[in-house]
Amino acid sequence: WAAGVLSCLRVLKRGLLCAAVVVAFVLPALAGAARQALLPGVSYERKVVLSGGQPVVLHVVRSPPQSGLFRLDPVLSHGTVLGRQTVPGMQARIRSRATTVGVNGDFFTLETGESSGIFLRDGVLSSPPSPKRSALVLGLDSRIVVDVFRLTGTWQAGAFAARRLQKLNRRIATPSGISLFTPAWGGLTPRARGAVEVVLAGFPAARLG
């Protein structure tokens, strides 16, 4: 996760924001640096450590466990999979509802701003996981889990047998595959040679299960 936090120093795109503060990401070996109080129970510290012989800056926020006023929330730039926005810009969008501390939470495509990893909030999947990268997940029991996840989906029409859904809110490379684009995509669906587009209305959100 440290690598994900450090990416915000370079790309500043999407963040993990909370309705009061962000959950702490602390490496035990980095203890001893001076902390700055942000608000009661919440502190910030800037640490410089060596990684491969090179100095690396870590920004660490500590907070109470998620409960009551404290909550960890993922936020998409502009609320969509496409597009780019700085972390301060994302914080400004929810400033009227919360006091926030934000950190970058994902890599993205420079051309389109398309996120490269999973985005799941309130059981609704907006961006699928990458099978080549780990992801951070906050469970319903408030446990934080870092693991590799994979998307398994099917689609079915009428009495026909269920078939595999290759992609969700992702461009598809082969003309024989199926990709489902939801409103969370945030723009026109990408063109593909030989592809057929079908618009489906009145469907519920793309939830797990």
Each residue of 112-152: pLDDT tens digit? 888 888 998 888 999 999 888 899 888 777 788 899 999 88
> For residue 175, what pLDDT is reported?
67
Report whether 144 contacts 137 (CB < 8 A).
yes
Percent of the chain topping pLDDT 90: 16
Question: From CA 120, how far away is CA 72, in angstroms rounded?
Answer: 13
Encoding tokens for residue 81?
Answer: 């999979």
Output the CA torsion sign for 89, 124, 179, 134: positive
Beta bridge mates, 17:
73
How do strand 124-127 and strand 119-121 relate by DSSP bridges? antiparallel
Burial (Cβ within 10 Å: 0-12, 13-18, ≥19) of residue 81? buried
Chain segment 8-46, per-residue pLDDT in tens = 222 233 333 333 333 334 434 444 458 899 888 888 999
Question: From CA 182, how far away is CA 167, in angstroms rounded?
Answer: 11
* Mean pLDDT for the chain overall: 78
Question: From CA 134, how far away is CA 19, in angstroms rounded?
Answer: 25
Is the pLDDT at 208 greater than 50? The verdict is yes
Report whether 163 contacts 151 (CB < 8 A).
no
> For residue 147, what pLDDT is reported?
93
Report whether 185 contacts 79 (CB < 8 A).
no
Is the pLDDT at 2 greater than 60? The verdict is no
Q: Which residues contact 177 (CB under 8 A, 6 or more apart)?
A: 166, 167
Which range in 64-68, 82-86, 103-107, 126-130 is most confidently predicted, on average pLDDT? 126-130
